[in-house]
Every structure is written in structure tokens, then in C-alpha cells.
Amino acid sequence: MNTINTASPIRREIQWAGRTLAIELGRLAQQTNASAVVQYGDTVVLATVVLSKTVRESIDYFPLTIDYEERLYAAGKIKGSRFIKREGRPTDEAILAGRLVDRSIRPLFDERVRNDVQVVLTVLSFDGENDSDIPSLVAASLALAISDIPWAGPIAGIRVGRINNEWVLNPSYEARQKSDLDLVVAGMADKVLMIEAGAQEVSESVFLEAVLFGQKHMRPVLNLISEMVEQYGRPKLDTAIFAKEELALEEETANKVKKWSVEQLHKRFFNGTQVTKHARQAILEDLKSELDLYLASEQVGKEKRKIALDIFEGIVEDEVSRLIIEEGRRVDGRSLTEIRSLSVEVGVLPRTHGSA
């Protein structure tokens, strides 16, 4: 691994979808765990990632924060007020862009980590043609990938449009007005992690073709990020340092929790008879109570029983996914191609009109 010389920033460029994509390391935000600048056209985004050194106590979730910050100067604007020159609250577009990045990168973190992770995306320049959400996604992926923060990336993202039945990669704002499909897909070379789309009516086959087309053309960016990680990436911190739940349970106790949970789930939860969400939630609450009593009878302490209940929820999620992928079974007994029972009623309200 090479070290990043801050006196001489590293810059790499590729041609991507008809424009230059440039990435740069080592110029800005050197006190963070990692930072990266991505330029696409004349749109420039800075991504910084930071991991707290201490565990946040008394929480049962992974504390990830994504801040997407627009700057008026990025578009060459100065706020009109004589008295207030700073930016106001985030725009709807900024919130949506932040959520897009969040949904793309969050699945690749270890949910057991309880240290705060913050990803800040700052739009430094905006050319009015290339949306900043795709460069932001690439910048976040690059910064996380080269950092020491445990993360199973890298990923890339791309926008796909369709104009006159022709696919268009990363269409400009003007081109998107003519497109009958606006799709953003993020993932790896062999996996899709996030899809966001808006469209006029298109068939499922067209939509699937768009996803695969986008995934194929993400590969140059993935290769570029992987190359930078190989040369300049820092060794990842051991997730076990942060993942207190499994460390806090002895292996024997953890195995008991898993064995009991899987047996009871298949007997009472995955039997195809719990067709409503309320019924399934009631069963899960009953199973949690019974698991707590079972562990108490096995002389497991109160604190470790609480940790075991957190692990139980992960076991449920894993089994739901496994049964769908490996056995084609759903929790409520439906087949993979069967939709829920639907009901429609019109004329309920006297003064409203319909909306799609």
C-alpha cells in the first residue's frame, strides 16, 4: 500500500459515458478517516468519512449519518439578503440525494457496529448539466473504500435514461426531460444494491434491461476505485472491535440462541399459516419472551439475554432471506409470483379527484 502524499495529490481520470470522470485524493479534509474529490464534467463533489473512536452506549442500531450539503457558490450564486448570507435548510433535492447515497452504502456496513459513522458530501461546483448525485455516490464509495472504516464496498452508481428507444448513460438535465425512463442503479459488478426510478409506462422487460445496462457500464468506475484501493487503501479495522453483541456472548450461548431460534421459527413462524402482519408480529413477540425465559433457565444473565434478543432479530431476517432465495418460500405462504389480495373502492370522499 502506498501512502497519500498531501503535498502532491493523486488524480486519476477515465472517460465515462462521454465525459471525463476525475477522482482526486489527498488535497482536502486530511484530518478525516478518508476523503475524496470526484469531478464529472464541471460538477465537483467532496466526500469525507469519519468514524468515532468511542462506542455510543444504549443504542440498538448502527449510527450512520449522511449529510448532503449544497452550496450556493457551487453554482456561482450569492444569496440575495443583505443580512443572511449563509445557506438555509436543505432542499428537497438535497434530502433525496442524501437518501439515495444512504440506501446504496448502508447495506455494506456491519449492523453490529455502535460507533458513529458520518459521511459528508459537499457540492463544491455545479455545472447545471451533470447532476451531483452520481458523483456524490462515487465519491462516498471511494472515500469509504480507501478508509480504515469497516465497509464491504466498493460500489458505483449510474443514471440510465431512454430517448427514442435508445439507452442514454448519465443523461444531462435537458436530456432527462425527453427521456421516458429515469433510473439510478447502484451496486457491484455482480450485485445490485439500490434502484430508484421514475418513468412513463415501460414494460418489466425494458426496466430489467435498463438495470442490467447500467450495471454493465458501472464497471469502469468500479475498476478505477478498486485500483485506488489497492494502491492507497488503508487496512480495515477489525469489526470485532466494535461488534460487542457477539463478543459479549460465549460461543456456547450464541449457538444455543441460534439453534433454539431457528427451530421455533420454522415451527411457528414459517409454517405458512400466519398470513397477516399483525399475526406475525404477535408470534415474534411471543418468541422473544420465550427465548428470554429459555435463556434464564439456562442461567444466562440479564444483560446477555438482552444482547441475545438483539441477535434473534438478525436471525429472523437471515432466515426470511434464505428461505426466499434457496427454497422459494415466503413467510405468509405466498409463492414468489403471487401478489397480496387487493381491494379498491371509489367515491369515498365527496370533493376529491383521482391522482396517479
325-329 LR contacts (CB < 8 Å, sep 24+): 329/270, 329/272
CA 177 – CA 236 distance, rounded (Å): 43
- On whether residue 342 sits in a domain, the answer given is no
256 and 223, same domain (yes or no): no
231 and 303, same domain (yes or no): no
Which residue among 240, 264, 285 closes a domain? Answer: 240
H-run or E-run covering 163: strand 156-163
Q: What is the pTM of this model?
A: 0.79
Strand pairing class (115-125; 64-69) = parallel
CB 238 within 8 A of CB 152: no
190 and 261, same domain (yes or no): no
- On whether residue 123 sits in a domain, the answer given is yes
CB 330 within 8 A of CB 274: no
- On whether residue 348 sits in a domain, the answer given is no
Q: What is the pLDDT of residue 78?
A: 64
Q: What is the pLDDT of residue 220?
A: 97
Residue partners of 35: CB distance under 8 A and separation at least 6: 25, 28, 29, 46, 47, 48, 49, 143
CA 24 – CA 8 distance, rounded (Å): 10
- On whether residue 296 sits in a domain, the answer given is yes
DSSP lists the bridge partners of residue 138 as none
16 and 120, same domain (yes or no): yes
CA 123 – CA 132 distance, rounded (Å): 7
139 and 37, same domain (yes or no): yes
234 and 262, same domain (yes or no): no
78 and 146, same domain (yes or no): yes
Please report, in tens digits, the pLDDT of each residue of the chain (356 residues total): 666 655 578 999 999 999 999 999 999 999 999 999 999 999 999 999 999 988 888 787 899 999 999 887 677 766 665 555 566 788 899 999 999 999 999 999 988 788 999 999 999 999 989 999 999 999 999 999 999 999 998 999 999 999 999 999 999 999 999 999 999 999 999 999 999 999 998 999 999 999 999 999 999 999 999 999 999 999 998 876 665 555 556 677 888 888 999 999 888 888 777 668 888 889 999 999 999 999 888 888 887 888 788 789 889 999 999 989 998 888 888 888 888 888 888 888 888 876 65
Question: How many residues make up the chain in this entry?
Answer: 356
CB 143 within 8 A of CB 48: yes
CA 268 – CA 274 distance, rounded (Å): 8
Q: What is the pLDDT of residue 252?
A: 77
CA 100 – CA 196 distance, rounded (Å): 8
- Amino acid found at 98: G
> Locate cell 440498538: which residue?
60
CATH no. for residue 140?
3.30.230.70
- The two most distant CA atoms of the chain are separated, in Å, by 70
140 and 59, same domain (yes or no): yes
Q: What is the pLDDT of residue 304?
A: 80
CA 173 – CA 43 distance, rounded (Å): 13
- On whether residue 272 sits in a domain, the answer given is yes
The mean pLDDT value of the chain amounts to 88
Q: Which three cell numbers stand for residue 135?
A: 458523483
- On whether residue 350 sits in a domain, the answer given is no
CA 254 – CA 256 distance, rounded (Å): 5
- Show the domain range for 56: 10-240
282 and 208, same domain (yes or no): no
Look at the chain and report how many structural domains it folds into.
Answer: 2
109 and 134, same domain (yes or no): yes
H-run or E-run covering 12: strand 10-16
81 and 215, same domain (yes or no): yes
Which residue among 212, 240, 268 closes a domain? Answer: 240
At 89-134, the pLDDT tens digits run 888 999 999 999 999 999 999 887 889 999 999 999 999 899 999 9
For 233, what's the count of Cα atoms within 13 Å in the CB-facing half-sphere? 22
Residue partners of 110: CB distance under 8 A and separation at least 6: 62, 150, 239, 242, 243
Strand order across the beta sheet in which 156-163 lies: 166-169, 156-163, 181-187, 192-199
26 and 148, same domain (yes or no): yes
